[in-house]
Structure 1
Amino acid sequence: MNQILIILFWFGAVKALDVVSNFTYDKEMAAKCKQHICRNGYIYDNYYRIENNVWKPSDPNVSFEMHIAIQAASNGHILLSPVEHAGFSDPVYEIVVGGGGNTFTELRRNLRRNAKASAKTLGILSNAELRGFYIKITKDGQLEFGREGELLPIISIYDVDPLDINYFSFASWTGVDARFLYDCPAPGIEGKTQNSTEVDKSSISDKLKRKILLSRFPSLPPAQNMSVEVGTILISARYDSFDAKLITDLAFVTSWKDKNAAWDPDQYNGTTRLNFRQTQIWRPTFLVYNANTLDPLDANNAGLITMDYSGENIFHFRTKVESWCVVDDTTSLNKWPMDSYDCIVVIRPFQVHELINLKLLKPTDVKMKFYTDIDIKVRNEWETTATSLVFSSKQWLKLHNTTVNDVTESDVLVIYVTMQRKAVALNMAIYTPLVVLVTFVLMSFWTESLTMTRVWFYAGCAATISFGLCYIEYIMPCHNVPSLLILYVTVLGGILIALLLQVILMTSLVKAMCETQPMQNLLTSSVFRKVFLLAPMTTVTKNYDTLNEGFSYDGEDEAQVSPRSANIEEMVADACAEKTNFGDSVELAEAFDKLFFFVYSMVFAVLLALHF
């Protein structure tokens, strides 16, 4: 029991001592201070500049004195710096109060590193009270941090090269909200130790931007007559044959100069370049004159306008352009899928009241080279080349008659696009079935005639081509007839003719017609057979003198068979000749096969040559 009482006594004594040692600010004292609240974690985002020391310390050896109060669960960070927005390598004093979950206090010589002194301070901060602290730096380099009302500091270091403190800032820890009171007077003394003002967060470039944008309207050009350099890069292009449209992805590089926006870099800490949003300053806008809509070109990328100290502006953007491209319809055939097109894209300034003189940027220009690696050309089924030309308003009016409402004094940019389709996969998918079908059809003319097998073969080929034509209709151009379609239709027609003839030759009417005397004379004539490469007719003769050759008789005995000396191959040939029926429907069908083979070969060869 006595041990418990002793423990309780010491615990109460320690708590009483802790209450006495922690100096707490009341409302009256807090009203004499300025306040800063940290909610962004371990970030020194607000800096305060020490303007002048209005309080004279009692000790003349003290060069810097600061009285603050902190209310936080842990991690009250104080930064003392000679410069604003101190970096990782800048020499500073950083004091961490209640770090490690409110267990220690540490003094560092650099930001987040180089600790010089540390002390265990369990419960030094409170989330419910404003606890006061002081910071003192003597002229000889002694730095002290301690509680208000205590003579002995919590941590103290001696710096042989003390820093001149011009700025201070506060921070906390992630998830910890901290409240700081600063510019507070010393307890029991009237007047402040120092007076500070918050540093403007805006950088030098922000101040320069505000100066340039002052009294400037983004919708108005800097001058009445603007000279704009423009360069174009063709990223990709394709032709929509159904709508007769050219669809291109273009990259533009525009450059213009605003002399009123120039500045001296020496007066702005060496700033030589600024970036503006597209809506902050004026930039030239364009439209596609030969498109179905007259809306301004929409930049796909949210790029920035770059301005250098001479007032020169550069803006790079990408856009998708759809323009009409009506092909020459004087010819009814084209070479699809190996077709080519010549199209133009007419681009002019969007605002009619603006007077813009265009000048082309060469591909070797430094401004264009900078974006060449960014705007990589996309490879697709089209091989494209683009050439740009600038026409004055007078030249354009001579080339293109327009209404008075569309007259503009600005120059016009015309992009000539030449396209050649080089779709290897499409060519293989389209030409391979054609070549295979033509080859098999020609080979069928050298197979056995008047059989149902060939009839079914021709029917299958016709069905295959018909299905292919139904599908190819959705991808071929509609403004004229591709010569490839003529090829497929010709092959289909030839197959149907061969199929019809094959069926007709198998009828009994043709067989009866072949037995007539005129047809027999034609089919058995030597000229006809030589022209159509038919088998020559042979005359069968028999040698009766050698009929009993190979037999011998011996008196009255029976006949004895001796080995034959006759020509067996000749007898076989004679037997085959006896079985050949010259002048029948089979030979007529064979003659038609030879004729069709020759005619089809010539027609297909001529059509392929004309197509390519």
Structure 2
Amino acid sequence: MNFYFILLASVFFSGSEANKFNVTYTELQFCKEYDVKAGYKYSSFFHIDSLKPNRNLADKDDTILNLRLFVLATKDAHILLSPTDQIKSSPIYEIVLGAGGNTFNEIRRQRQSQPLSTKRQSNFLSSTDVMPLTVRILKSGNISIAITGQPPFITAFDPNVLDIKYISFSTWGTAEAKWFYDCENDSTGDILSPINQNLTDVQRLLNDLLNGYDPNIVPIDLGTVFLDFDLVNADFNSKKSFLTSHGRFRANWIDPKMRWKKGEYGGKSRIHLDKVGPADLIWTPQIRLLNGKDDHFGSIPLLYTVTIFSNGSIWAESMSTTFSTWCLNLNRNWPYEAVSCNIQIQLDHFTSATLIPLNKTFYIIPRSSRYDFDGGEWRVIETKSISSVQSNPNIPYTVVTADGLSSSISTLEINVILQRNSLFYNQLISVPLIGAFSLVLLSFWVERFLRIMLNALSLFILIAMLLILADHAPNYYTPTVVVYYTCSLYVVWASLLTFTIHCWFKERKPNIELFTQIASSTWVQLVFGLSFDDTYEYKDFEEDATNDFSKVIDRFFFFIFLMIFFICTAVGY
């Protein structure tokens, strides 16, 4: 382009209101130029120490970074300041100018997150005015961005300030930008040329729709948001009483600012946007969990894949998300639960729009890209959504709407019914319990050392299982299976007690006339499987009578506990 033509043009515009920064070609001809095409990608990194005037900073100076830049863009001009030249480096500083359709500026400590400072400034960037910028970072942690010669328009403070070594440039969406950097009179730069954008119908449509659009403002007259949750799988933690859900939110709403005439844009009736987050490009419904657990209490940021129709109707499906909500199992039937849990949702915006369950099934994201699965410990039996409006003047917060304060808040309640696949628990719990109980029952038929070994083995199994159950069973009530294990411990103690009585009888030899009558009874001998001898030899009289009476006690307890065992098995646990 002819040098004199540009110079005359810059002189002409310097006297007009449009060229408000009065940047001339003389200032730009000694700068290096870098063009950024559409798309969010930091492809080239420049070493800070090689740029003037930053490379002349004295070591004793408190300044880490002092750069002068020029930018020409319509919106979404991004600067990345990083300690390394790796795109995935974190943490970093990301400076975003003209974000949200040229409505706000932001300083971030990580790409697309962790904002240190945000300032709303509409129509900040211009496609005709080259903006001079000064970026400064001090060792004290102060960060400032200013239009050269003016006070900073945005500042931030980072107590753990980064040692910046590299800089890179990018944009967002369909926006393009032209950067001028390394500006000093000993550096020869390229010639300033306007940005020539050969936009498609979709790109042109997006530019027109997003120009001046503020994604932080709820759409005008937003009366209804249709919302549901496509639950893929769920897991219930019985011990701590919370439900973990994994799936996708789907929503539909009307945004009047997203309407266009199809004939003006090549007949396009719809456009698609990917990974639209909170306050990014367009307004999207972000949710608040009223019964969320720990980190999930409150807002959950959602990334949507969006389809916008020419009539302003917007259909959106979120990326896969996982969150936890509190849920108390009132049935108290661990581990054979059928649990009913509720997920309580409100819009995380200053709006009184009504949430209505979205009954229509649709999938914006292709089914082939989904990772749905139905397996694991829990099986989803049923899900249903119920919409309600809480109207209570005593609630601790209100909603600010165009009509003032409102205490009516729309809540969407998603009821999830789960059934545990309890085969694993059935085998894990039943086999040790039956085995330990059988060993205890068998101990009533044996004597001395073998009896002690059977009881010791049963005691070990029962205590080990109780310790395992203590890690898995809920602790706000005592499950039935824990009661059975505890009762089995009592049976072991009963077996050891009868063995102790037997030893006492043999040692003390008490008055055994009554014991002899009981042991010599025909019915007792028949029922308890004793010898059918009518009399005892004199020399063995005391010993035999003692042994037989001890057997009567053992067999009595055996039959009692055997009946208990069969009753518990029949009833189930």
Contact 2:356/2:387, CA 8 A, preserved across alignment: no
Change (3 A) 1:369 1:592: farther
User: Residue in 2 aligned with 1:203?
Assistant: 200
Change (3 A) 1:357 1:210: same
Matches of 2:291 and 2:524, distance apart in 1 = 66
Provide TM-score, normalisation by structure 1: 0.54
Change (3 A) 1:431 1:496: same
Please give the secondary structure, in 2, of the residue aligned with 1:442: helix
* Structure 2 counterparts to residues 69-218 of structure 1, below 5 A: 200-218=197-215
Matches of 2:500 and 2:535, distance apart in 1 = 33
The question of 1:350 aligning with 2:352 is answered no
Aligned with 2:533 (options 531, 537, 541)? 537
Matches of 1:587 and 1:401, distance apart in 2 = 77
User: Residue in 2 aligned with 1:249?
Assistant: 246
Matches of 1:604 and 1:262, distance apart in 2 = 73
Q: Mark the runs of 5 or more structure 1 residues left unpaired by the alignment.
A: 1-36, 41-180, 182-195, 541-575
Q: Name the stretch that deviates more: 365-374 or 242-251.
A: 365-374
**1:294: Cα distance to partner?**
4.7
User: Residue in 2 aligned with 1:505?
Assistant: 502
**1:401: Cα distance to partner?**
7.4
User: Residue in 2 aligned with 1:445?
Assistant: 444
Matches of 1:245 and 1:408, distance apart in 2 = 29
Matches of 1:596 and 1:369, distance apart in 2 = 67
Matches of 2:419 and 2:200, distance apart in 1 = 53
Contact 2:439/2:455, CA 8 A, preserved across alignment: no
User: Residue in 1 aligned with 2:372?
Assistant: 376
Q: Name the stretch that deviates more: 426-435 or 197-206.
A: 197-206
The question of 1:274 aligning with 2:276 is answered no
Task: Give the letter aligned to residue 597 of structure 1.
Answer: F
Change (3 A) 1:244 1:367: same
User: Residue in 2 aligned with 1:420?
Assistant: 419
Matches of 1:510 and 1:418, distance apart in 2 = 63
Summarize deviations over 1:6-53 as a string: whole Å, max 9, x none: xxxxxxxxxxxxxxxxxxxxxxxxxxxxxxx9x99xxxxxxxxxxxxx
User: Residue in 2 aligned with 1:389?
Assistant: 385
**1:491: Cα distance to partner?**
0.9
Summarize deviations over 1:61-93 as a string: whole Å, max 9, x none: xxxxxxxxxxxxxxxxxxxxxxxxxxxxxxxxx
Change (3 A) 1:274 1:405: closer
Contact 1:262/1:311, CA 8 A, preserved across alignment: yes
Matches of 1:381 and 1:253, distance apart in 2 = 26
Matches of 1:508 and 1:197, distance apart in 2 = 111
**1:372: Cα distance to partner?**
10
The question of 1:526 aligning with 2:522 is answered yes
Provide TM-score, normalisation by structure 2: 0.58
Aligned with 1:465 (options 455, 462, 467)? 462
Contact 1:504/1:510, CA 8 A, preserved across alignment: no
The question of 1:284 aligning with 2:285 is answered yes
Please give the secondary structure, in 1, of the residue aligned with 2:264: helix
Matches of 2:388 and 2:515, distance apart in 1 = 80
Aligned with 1:324 (options 323, 326, 331)? 326
Task: Give the letter aligned to residue 321 of structure 2.
Answer: T
* Structure 2 counterparts to residues 567-582 of structure 1, below 5 A: none
Matches of 2:535 and 2:526, distance apart in 1 = 17
User: Residue in 2 aligned with 1:30?
Assistant: none
Matches of 1:538 and 1:205, distance apart in 2 = 108
Matches of 1:439 and 1:397, distance apart in 2 = 61
Contact 1:235/1:250, CA 8 A, preserved across alignment: yes
The question of 1:297 aligning with 2:293 is answered no
**1:346: Cα distance to partner?**
0.9
Contact 1:325/1:344, CA 8 A, preserved across alignment: yes
Please give the secondary structure, in 2, of the residue aligned with 1:218: coil
Matches of 2:524 and 2:239, distance apart in 1 = 53
**1:373: Cα distance to partner?**
8.1
Task: Give the letter aligned to residue 334 of structure 2.
Answer: W
Change (3 A) 1:228 1:378: same
User: Residue in 2 aligned with 1:338?
Assistant: 336
**1:347: Cα distance to partner?**
0.5
**1:417: Cα distance to partner?**
1.9
Summarize deviations over 1:377-422 as a string: whole Å, max 9, x none: 44221222343333342xx348x97446476434211011223322
Change (3 A) 1:201 1:510: farther
Matches of 1:408 and 1:386, distance apart in 2 = 32
Number of residue pairs the alignment of both structures matches:
379
Task: Give the letter aligned to residue 442 of structure 1.
Answer: L
Aligned with 1:487 (options 479, 484, 488)? 484
Fraction of identical pairs, as percent = 19
Task: Give the letter aligned to residue 458 of structure 2.
Answer: C
Task: Give the letter aligned to residue 374 of structure 1.
Answer: R
Matches of 1:486 and 1:198, distance apart in 2 = 78
Change (3 A) 1:457 1:392: closer
Matches of 2:311 and 2:464, distance apart in 1 = 67
